[in-house]
Structure 1
Amino acid sequence: MAQKKWADLSSGQRKAVIVMGAVQLTLATAAWVDLARRPAEQVNGSKGKWAAIIAINWIGPISYFARGRKTELPEITA
């Protein structure tokens, strides 16, 4: 598989790479901030494990938001 250099990419391809990189960094940052602020009791598994998983591009942050957080429904008092 031939690898392209940055200079070989069109301006549209460069913009796409920059946008996708920014989205990835935003997702990962949001996941790490949420993990840091969330009590351990509200995380499925260990926080250390999830911190490492979040570092995996795309899959990590999405997995954390989908599976790593415990969601509790608020109690309804009558």
Structure 2
Amino acid sequence: MAQKKRWNEFSLVSRWRIVILGIIQLGLQFVALRDLAKRPAADVRGSKSAWAAASFINFVGPLAYLALGRARSTK
């Protein structure tokens, strides 16, 4: 079994990729949770608490909420 790499064993490019992907993940989660908090429950498909929990699944959760969890407004 391969040993886990330590942070200082990654190349500089790999470290930057990890940091950038982490920032994107946190940004998506922030947007999803903020929208979920401000949106009325009637405008959310499913349970707000379930979507909040799903937002912690890397990339998939926030993107799923933003694409599928919000009901289309008829305004």
Same fold (TM over 0.5): yes
1:35 matches 2:36? yes
Identity value in percent: 41
> What are the superposed Cα offsets for residues 15-61 of structure 1, whole Å, 9 maximum, x if unpaired?
10000000000000000000000000000011111110001111100
Segments of structure 2 that go 5 or more residues without pairing to the other structure are none
Segments of structure 1 that go 5 or more residues without pairing to the other structure are none
State how far apart, in whole Å, the 2-side matches of 1:50 and 1:38 are. Answer: 12
Map 1:1-78; keep pairs closer than 5 Å.
1-74=2-75
Q: Which amino acid aligns with 2:74?
A: L
Q: Which amino acid aligns with 2:21?
A: M
Runs of 4+ with deviation above 4 angstroms: none
State how far apart, in whole Å, the 2-side matches of 1:73 and 1:17 are. Answer: 40
Aligned length: 74
Structure ID, larger Rg: 1
Q: State the Cα distance separating 1:4 from its structure 2 match.
A: 1.2
TM-score (norm 1): 0.89
TM-score (norm 2): 0.93
